[in-house]
């Protein structure tokens, strides 16, 4: 299955050398590398031109500051392949990123996410956020806006376009808006591996960015909604999902976050008495398994980390 790598960049010259290495180490011979240079004023254009002259897979589209959502929509429209992998210029990616996700492509899948690790500007690891794996659990995990990393997704071009693409007015939660809409018509799944090293900057940690993002996400969840069928599927099949988590790394953390996401979903539903009872059953099962309330530490650590280091 051929893939188009898509990256929008503005003034990213300091990160491009590493980004080029990561992308080239991931693509196969027939893949496409599509870069939108969105109004850069530094050496980004020069570095991209040199890259394209050295690598025939690279195609550069130069624009005049369209903005992130519009630049990505343009890239999606211009992509030659139906499967598109997002990369961000300031993040780092392991050698197996695309191979791990490529192996999960199927006709019923609209998008494939992954686990990811936070890194500070100084290169310090700040922890891993594990994904939900299962399609229903991944759809429900959108409630937290934390477990579906934008720079780590590969998605189906047709599914994205049919869902309306990125919407500029949904900034800085334009990715969550798209995932919520895509979850209504296709399956969102997660590769249970750390495939993105997610770089945090001082500007991305600002309170204004964090509050704006949280407020916009809550508004979008109310407007678009979490897929109710996915919630029902999680409540009906959580034991089987937990058995799957037991076979993966960070299984306990995935269970706790699954429970947290389901509890959070109650805020956006009506007539939830029966759902609340089943969610409480999940909580009791976790307490028995973990043997102590202190096992919830990982859940609250993850929540605190994300609150402190939210990146727009």
| DSSP letters for 223-254 | HH---HHHHHHHHHHHHHHHHHHTTSTTHHHH
Cis amide bond preceding 235, omega within 30? no
Q: For residues 138 and 192, is the Cβ–Cβ distance under 8 A?
A: no
Question: pLDDT digit string (tens) for 140-195?
Answer: 999 999 999 999 999 999 999 999 999 999 999 999 999 999 999 999 999 999 99
Question: pLDDT digit string (tens) for 6-64?
Answer: 999 999 999 999 999 999 999 999 999 999 999 999 999 999 999 999 999 999 999 99
Q: How far is CA 57 from the centre of its chain?
A: 25
Q: What is the mean pLDDT of residues 122-130?
A: 90
Q: What is the mean pLDDT of residues 240-268?
A: 93
Sketch the domain layout of the chain as residue ranges: 1-89, 91-312
Burial class of residue 167 in the structure, from the number of CB atoms within 10 Å of its CB (0-12 exposed, 13-18 middle, 19+ buried):
middle
Domain boundaries 1-89, CATH class: alpha beta
Q: For residues 211 and 114, is the Cβ–Cβ distance under 8 A?
A: no
Look-up of token digits 């929008």: 8
pTM above 0.75, yes or no: yes
Q: How much is the mean pLDDT over the chain?
A: 90
pLDDT of residue 42: 97
Domain 91-312 is found in CATH 3.30.70:
no
Q: What angle do CA 27, 50, 30 make, to 5 degrees?
A: 25
Domains 1-89 and 91-312 belong to one CATH topology: yes
Percent of the chain whose predicted confidence (pLDDT) is above 90? 79
Q: What angle do CA 91, 93, 95 make, to 5 degrees?
A: 165
Assign 3-class secondary structure to 109-157. EEEEEEEEEEECCCCCEEEEECCCCCHHHHHHHCCCCCCCCHHHCEEEH
Split at pLDDT 50, 70, 90, the class of 298 is: low
Residue in 241, 233, 269 with CA at minimum distance from that of residue 143: 269
């Amino acid at each position: 299955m051929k893939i188009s790598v898509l990256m929008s960049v503005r003034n990213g010259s300091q990160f491009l050398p590493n980004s080029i290495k990561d992308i080239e180490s991931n693509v196969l011979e027939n893949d496409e590398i599509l870069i939108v240079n969105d109004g850069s004023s530094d050496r980004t254009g020069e570095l991209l031109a040199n890259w394209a002259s050295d690598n025939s897979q690279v195609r550069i589209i130069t624009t005049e500051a369209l903005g992130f959502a519009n630049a990505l929509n343009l890239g999606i429209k211009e992509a030659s392949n139906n499967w598109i992998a997002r990369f961000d210029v300031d993040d780092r990616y392991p050698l197996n990123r695309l191979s791990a996700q490529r192996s999960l492509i199927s006709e019923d899948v609209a998008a494939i996410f992954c686990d990811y690790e936070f890194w500070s500007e100084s290169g310090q690891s700040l922890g891993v956020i594990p994904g939900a794996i299962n399609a229903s659990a991944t759809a429900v995990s959108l409630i937290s806006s934390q477990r579906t990393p934008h720079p780590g997704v590969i998605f189906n071009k047709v599914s994205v376009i049919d869902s309306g693409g990125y919407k500029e007015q949904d900034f800085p939660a334009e990715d969550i808006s798209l995932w919520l809409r895509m979850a209504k018509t296709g399956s969102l799944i997660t590769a249970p591996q750390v495939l993105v090293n997610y770089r945090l900057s001082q500007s991305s940690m600002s309170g204004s960015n964090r509050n704006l993002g949280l407020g916009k996400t809550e508004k979008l969840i109310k407007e678009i909604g979490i897929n109710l069928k996915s919630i029902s599927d999680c409540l009906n099949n959580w034991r089987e999902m937990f058995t799957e988590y037991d076979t993966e790394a960070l299984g306990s953390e995935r269970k706790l976050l699954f429970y947290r996401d389901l509890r959070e979903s109650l805020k956006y539903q009506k007539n939830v008495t029966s759902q609340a009872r089943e969610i409480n059953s999940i909580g009791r099962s976790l307490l028995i398994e973990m043997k102590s309330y202190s096992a919830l530490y990982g859940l609250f650590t993850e929540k605190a980390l994300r609150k402190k280091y939210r990146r727009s």
